[in-house]
Structures are given as C-alpha cells and as structure tokens.
Structure 1
Amino acid sequence: MGKILSSKEIGEKIRVLRKHAGMSQERLAEMVGVSFQQIQKYENGSTMLNTDKLQRVASALKVSASAFFEEYTFERPPLSDREKKLIKGFRSLEDEDIQEGLVKLVVRAGEK
C-alpha cells in the first residue's frame, strides 16, 4: 500500500498541474464549480477535497485523478499540424505589436 498523502501534498500537486496547464485559479474554479478562494484553500491544504471535487479538478486539468497520488511526468504530445501552422505563421510576423495582439487574443479566447 502506498503512502497516504496529506491535503497539503495533494494541494501542491494541484498547484503544479494547474500552473503547468497555464491555468489561473479563477479559471480552474469556474471549471470545477467553486470559488477561486476555495481553489486557494485546496492548494494550500487547508481544505480537503472530496472525491467528486478531486475528479472535477482532474478533469479540468486534463489528468487522471491518480495523477495526484503518483509521480507525474509532464510529457507533452507532439504538436498537431494546426499548431505547427500557427507557430510558423506567428514566427513569420515581423511586427511585434501584431504578435503581441495575437498572443492576447489567443490567451483571451482560451480563458472563455
């Protein structure tokens, strides 16, 4: 039987996985159906997650619930053809203002 993890240890994994996903506490909270303050409490270990919430957090972060209990490696899948086109097009832009505008647009779209 494996080690029993504390709420603090699970919270730290949530924080790491959330940051790796490039997600804010506010966005994760919205996806899980709790306040961002509740996400803060999960991450600092002051509040325990029940199994339903743990599964919702895992789903929002696109990991299995077991990721909170095991060593997790951050392997990224290869880029899709669409992602490669986006990067190639972005790099071909010479105007940094246009690049910055596109970054803001993509980030905003990803938050909705």
Structure 2
Amino acid sequence: MAKSHPVDAHVGVRMRQRRTLLGMSQTKLGDAVGLTFQQVQKYERGANRVGSSRLYEFSKALDVPVSYFFDEMPGNALSGRPMAAKVKKGSGFGEAGTPFATEKDPLIKRETLQLVRGYYKIRDEAVRRRIYELVKSMGDASHAGRPVKKK
C-alpha cells in the first residue's frame, strides 16, 4: 500500500480536528458533502486526496476557510518533492524544520479536542478563567518537575 503524501495527511488531520471540535460525526459530515462516512474516513487518514471542489465543500460544511486545512503545516511537508527545490528556505506553510509527526502533536488528539469542547461549554466566564488558571499552573508545575503549590 502506498504511503500517504504528507500534505494529504495534514489536510486530513485538520479535517478530523475541526469535525471533532464541532462534535460532528463522520456520517453527518459525509451527508453534508454527499459522501459516505467511509469516504470521509479515507480523507481524514490521508488515504484519498481531496480535490479542490471537494475541499471547498468541506470548508463550507465545517465553517472554515479553505486555508484552514493548510494552517500549521510543517515547512518540510514537501521535502523530497520536485517542487520543494523551488521553495525558498523558511517560506511555505508552518515552521521550517518542524518534524511531520502527527502522532506526537497533542493538538490533534481526541482527548484535547474533547477537553476544549467541554471547556467552552462552561457558560460562566469566571469559572472558565479559574479552570484555565488551575490547569495552567498544574502544567507549569508538572513541567518543572515540582509539586503544585497552594495559594
């Protein structure tokens, strides 16, 4: 089986990320663009390339601009491709030299997306802010390798 092109994989990850953030099923997204959920799965895995007209349909169904699917793309996504030689170093999508390893990116994990959705369901802004500060302080303390201090 041929390996997915890094750009197709990135577009699929962004599609899944947005769909999950909206709480939309693959079936619902498929219905919105005239596809089966299996076809949506293939696009999300990067197994199928998304044509421009289909990408436009996905952008409308997911309420994002087409450019959303290319945001945060690593600069080395096209390395080894004929076109890559024509691109100046530092130009292109994403940060140059960023490894293209979607498994390591915490922003595409289902847990992260569900956490964000849950966070924004909290209507009280003061409660939301306190939760933000709590999680931030716990993360900072954990990252520094020391226990969280009480105030």
Q: With structure 2 as the length reference, what TM-score do the two structures score?
A: 0.44
**Match in the other structure for 2:24:** 23
1:8 is the counterpart of 2:14: no
Q: With structure 1 as the length reference, what TM-score do the two structures score?
A: 0.59
The DSSP-based 3-state class of the residue aligned with 1:46 is: coil
Q: Which structure has the highest helix share of the two?
A: 1
Count of equivalent residues: 78
Q: Provide the C-alpha distance between the structure 1 equivalents of 2:59 and 2:6, rounded to a whole number of angstroms.
A: 16
Quote the sequence identity (%): 38
The DSSP-based 3-state class of the residue aligned with 1:6 is: helix
List gaps (5 residues or longer) in structure 1.
72-86, 88-112
Contact preservation (8 Å) 1:5, 1:69: no
Q: Give the structure with higher Rg (CA).
A: 2
The one-character-per-residue Cα deviations of 1:30-72 (angstroms, maximum 9, x if unpaired) are 001111110000000100010011010010000000000114x
Q: Provide the C-alpha distance between the structure 2 equivalents of 1:61 and 1:9, rounded to a whole number of angstroms.
A: 16
**Match in the other structure for 2:68:** 67
Moved over 6 A (4+): none
Q: Provide the C-alpha distance between the structure 1 equivalents of 2:20 and 2:7, rounded to a whole number of angstroms.
A: 20
Residues 45 and 10 (structure 1), Cα distance of their counterparts in 2 relative to 1, 3 Å cut: same
List gaps (5 residues or longer) in structure 2.
73-122, 124-151
Shift of 1:10: 0.7
